[in-house]
A and B are shown apart, each in its own frame.
Chain A
C-alpha cells in the first residue's frame, strides 16, 4: 500500500449543505487515500480485455492510418519529395502513428462517460478502493492500449518502407515505445478530465472537431513547423501533440525540427512530461468530484 494525497484539494464536498463538522483527524482520513495495486491492475486488465474484444475499433483505426500513409505519404510524397533530406512518407510516419495514439488515448479516457452511463462506475465507486487507484488503472490501461495501437502502426509504416532498417533504428523503435506510453498517459488524462466534465456522448462530435482534429493537424504531421507562417507556428508550439510527434520523429528518424534545434528531443521530452503530470492530475481531480 502506498499512501498518496493527490486528490486532497478535490475531496472537499461540493454540495452546499455540508454542515457536518469534521474533526481534523477525520478530514485527514478522507483526504489520504491508499492506492491499491490490485485495483489499479484490475481496471487496467479490463481496459485491455475490452480493447482486445473491440476488433472493429482496432481495425478501423489501423485502416485509417494506412489510408493516410498510402494516399498522402505516397501520393503527395511523389509531388513534394521530402523535407530536409527525409522522404515524405518517412516524414509523415511518426505523425500518423501520433494520430493513432492521440485518438486512441483521448477516447479511452472519455470512455468514463460510458462507464457512468451504463452504471459500471457505481460498481467501482462503492468498492473499498480510492478513486485515485481507479483512475490510475484507467490511465495506465488507456495508455497501454493506445501504445499497442501505435506499435501496430509503426510496424505497418515499416512494411511500407518508411524506416531504414538498421541497428540504430531498432534501438530507436524501443525508445519510441517508451515515448508512446509517456505521450498517451497525458492524453488519457485529458480524456478523463473531459469525460468527467461532459455528461453525454453527444458532445463527442464537438470534442472530435474542436479538440482532436486541430491537435492532430497542428502536430506537424503533414508539414514541418519551419515552413508554416508565424501565427500557425505559434499555434503549433501550443499543441502538446506537436512535441509528442517531435519526440517520435527523433526516436524513429533520428532528426527533428530545425526550429527546436539539436536539443529538440530533450525539449519535447520535457514538455510531454510536464503535460503528463498536469493532465493526470487534472483527470484525477475532475474524476474525483464527478457525478455518477
Chain B
C-alpha cells in the first residue's frame, strides 16, 4: 500500500464576504493513486474546495499541498500538476474536438510532437477519434464530457479533479464515464478527487469517501467501513394504505432491535423510485423531478440526532400534499427501518402487522447503502432539495458567492 500523500489539506477555510463560511477548516490527505469521493449536497462546499486546491480561489486561511507544491506559494507548479474537469462545460464549441485539445496542449507548453502523440492517445482513450474533427457544437452531452476528461489528461497531470463528472447524463453514458475514470486511475495511477451528490457514484468509484456538509468534513472513510458503521440491515415496508404508517409506527418504536425508523416518500431507495417511474410513465408536469425527490423525516431511537419539530411538521405536510398529487400511489410513502439481523426480524414485523390488522404490500430487505450512511451522519437525505428554509437560503447564498467570485490570476 502506498503511503505518499499526493494532496495534503490543512485547515482550509473560505469565507465569502466576511460571514458566509463556504468551507470551514477542513483537513484531509489523499494518497497517491487514490480516488477520493467528495460527497455532499449542493452548496456543501465541494466546488469551493476544488477551486482552492486548483489555485483559482485564494483560501481565507489554511493551506494545502498538491503533488508536493503549496497552493499559496507555487500556484504555477500546482496548476501544472492538475487536470480539472469543471462542473459546467468549458469547451469552445466553435472549435473541433482536436482543436480544443490542441489549444490545451499549447497552453500547457507541450511541444508539437508530444502534443500530437498525446492528442491521439487521449482521443482513443475516450473513444472520440472518429469525431475528433467535428465541431464540438455537434457533440452530445456525454461526448462533451468525455472530451473534457480527455483534455484534462493531455498534460499528464498527477491529480485529476472531476467536479460532478456525470451530472445530467443518462445512465449508459454515466456508466461508461465511470469505467473511463477507473481505467485511468488503474492504468496511469492518477490520483482523483471527484465531487458528486450521487451516492452510488461515490460508492462505485471511490476508495475513500469524504462526506462534506456545510463546509465541514463530517466523515472520511472507505465505502465499506461507512456502511459497516450502520451495522444492520435496511428493511423497507410498503403498505396497501399509506395512512397505516402512522398507526404502525408507534408499535415499532419500542422494539430494541430497531435502530432507526424513517418515513420515506417516493422512496429514498432506487428500487422504490424506479418502480414508481415504471408504474407512472407520465408524471404530472407541475411536479417534475422535484416531486419525485424523496422527502423524509427521521426519528432516531438512539436519540443522537433529531430533526427539529417544525421541519418534521413541514415534511409531514409535504408528504400529505405529494400523496394527493401522486394519486395515492402505494410506494410513494414507505417505512424504512434499520434493523439488527433484518432477515430474522421480518417474520416478527409481518406478524405484528397482521395482529394489528395492517396490510403490508411488500417487504424489502437490503444492506445499508451510502444513502443510508449519509442519512445517519448528517440527519438529512442527500437528495433532499428542500431542507429547512434557513439551510436553503444559506446554500443559495454560498452557491451565488462561489459562482460570482474573482479567481486568482
Contact = CB atoms under 8 A, between A and B. Distances in A.
A189 B99 CA distance: 26
Contact of A119 (B55, B88, B94, B99): B88
B106 A39 contact: yes
Given A39-B107, A53-B94, A126-B56, A15 B86 contact: no
A34 B95 CA distance: 27
Contact of A20 (B60, B76, B94, B95): B60
A36 B94 contact: no
B72 A126 contact: no
A41 B106 contact: yes
B88 to A, nearest CB: 5
B60 A291 contact: no
A29 B75 CA distance: 10
B58 A18 contact: yes
B72 A128 contact: no
Contact of A50 (B75, B94, B405): B94
A290 interface: yes
A126 B84 contact: yes
Contact of A289 (B55, B107, B151, B406): B406
B104 interface: yes
B107 A129 contact: yes
B224 to A, nearest CB: 34
Interface string A126-163: 11111100000000000000000000000000000000
A19 B99 contact: no
Given A33-B409, A126-B54, A120 B61 contact: no
Nearest to A25: B73
Interface in B87-123: 88-95, 99, 102-104, 106-109
Contacts of B61: 19-20
B172 to A, nearest CB: 25
B95 to A, nearest CB: 7
Interface string B393-409: 00000000001111111
Interface of B: 14-18, 54-56, 58-61, 72-73, 75-77, 79-80, 82, 84, 86, 88-95, 99, 102-104, 106-109, 151, 403-409
Interface of A: 7, 10-11, 13-20, 22, 26, 29-30, 33-34, 36, 38-39, 41-42, 45-46, 49-50, 53-54, 118-131, 288-292
- Nearest 3 CB-CB pairs, A to B? A128-B79, A119-B90, A42-B106
